[in-house]
Amino acid sequence: MVNASVQRLAERLLDLKWMMATAESCTGGMIAAHCTDLSGSSAWFERGFVTYSNEAKTELLGVSASLIAQDGAVSQSVARAMALGACYRSKAHISVAVTGIAGPAGGSAEKPVGTVWLAWCVGGLAQTEMRLFPGDRAQIRQATTQAALEGLLKRLP
């Protein structure tokens, strides 16, 4: 079943004649999968980057290794760099990036399980948002995917 947000996103991107890209870490391609569940998505979905490792973020999206070392992979600066990199390294007009801690391991007092940074790039400008999602790994990943899609919709002209 196609996500209602994806249907609305597809209609809007088609109207604009825009393409989108995703840059995903903690969701491992779930956002792209939701988008491509819709038949005909190749008319508006350009590509998805699954950059789970820090090396992939650097190699595929151009995220500075020193930025990751300084701020951590789960940070506002890395999410922003991922979103910008997804647009710059594709033919997309808009992108979404997510990086977070889906758990059950990996959390800390500063960045507990459920901490997710989202970023959206439109017209070369990136906006970010930090969310703390409750639940288990599957619930956190699904909530992140939905927030990413809804955030794209809000940012379309």
Model pLDDT for residues 89-142, shown as the tens digit of each residue: 999 999 999 999 999 999 999 999 999 999 999 999 999 999 999 999 999 999
Judged by phi (left if over 0) then psi (alpha if -120 to 50, else beta), residue 82 lies in alpha
Mean pLDDT of 16-43: 98
CATH number of the domain within which 15 lies: 3.90.950.20
Task: Average the pLDDT over 40-61 and give the result.
Answer: 98
State residue 1's pLDDT score: 64
Prediction pTM value: 0.97
Cis omega (within 30 of 0) for bond into 104: yes
- Location of structure tokens 């997804």: 86
Domain ranges, residue 42:
4-155
For the segment 59-95, what is each residue's pLDDT rounded down to a tens digit? Answer: 999 999 999 999 999 999 999 999 999 999 999 999 9
Number of folded domains that form the chain:
1
Cα gap 14→61, rounded to integer Å: 25
